[in-house]
Amino acid sequence: MVPKLVRGFLDEHSDKHIDFRFHNSTGLTMDMIQGLKDRRYDVAFCSYVEQEPTIEFIPIAKQELVLIVPEGHPLESRDSIDLKETLQYPQVGFSTRSGLHRVIKKLFEKCGGHPEVVCSVEEDEAVAGLVGAGFGVAVVPRMPILDYMPVKPIQIAKPSWERNFYMATLKNVYQAPVIQAFKTYVAEHADL
């Protein structure tokens, strides 16, 4: 999604010399927020973080979450599921530094329970890899790589949930006109 937004912005401003530099050293929301505060980045695309009064979060896309199970798992035949039914199975989770950790924790709180988390990692691809290797089941964003892994994505029917993906910038600081123009472009082309 981000490369598509950048490409569209550059195409609309082809008469100007605009230089983008992309960073994804960790991909963790908290690291990106710190990078904004340290002025290493002008814009970050990440999860929403509560109690960050210096950061403006603009929702730009909804992200579907799915349950993934390894091939051969008892739930593999299911097309949708009430997440409460998964509490009996070991789960692969996201580390507390991941923006998804809080989202998934709240999702399970709605179910009235907490799963046994057998291991936690930071990257969603790593979570999917561990599920594919049989370490447990997991809630992850629907992503194209799941089609090439030994996992089965299952739609979450209950509880109801919504996860947005955000563009984040510092509030109350000078931003070059090109940054303002990019923010406007992204907000106008948001996929909500």
Compute the distance between CA of residue 155 and CA of residue 139 in angstroms, rounded to an integer: 10
* For range 108-130, the mean pLDDT: 92
Q: What per-residue confidence (pLDDT) applies to 26?
A: 60
Stretch 35-62: mean pLDDT, rounded?
A: 92
How many other C-beta atoms lie within 10 A of the C-beta of residue 35?
Answer: 18
Stretch 154-178: mean pLDDT: 90
| pLDDT tops 70 at residue 96 | yes
**What pLDDT, on a 0 to 100 scale, did the predictor assign at position 44?**
93
The winner for highest mean pLDDT among 12-21, 25-34, 150-159 is 150-159
Per-residue model confidence (pLDDT) at position 52: 94
pLDDT at 11 over 90: yes
Mean pLDDT for 38-64 is: 91
Distance CA 30, CA 5 (A): 23
What is the predicted pLDDT for the residue at 178? 94
Q: Please give the share of the chain, as a percent, with pLDDT higher than 90.
A: 67
Two structure tokens written together for 16 = 């100007």
Of residues 143 and 152, more confidently modeled: 152
pLDDT at 84: 94
Return d(Cα 97, Cα 49) in angstroms, integer. Answer: 11
Report whether 150 contacts 23 (CB < 8 A).
Answer: no
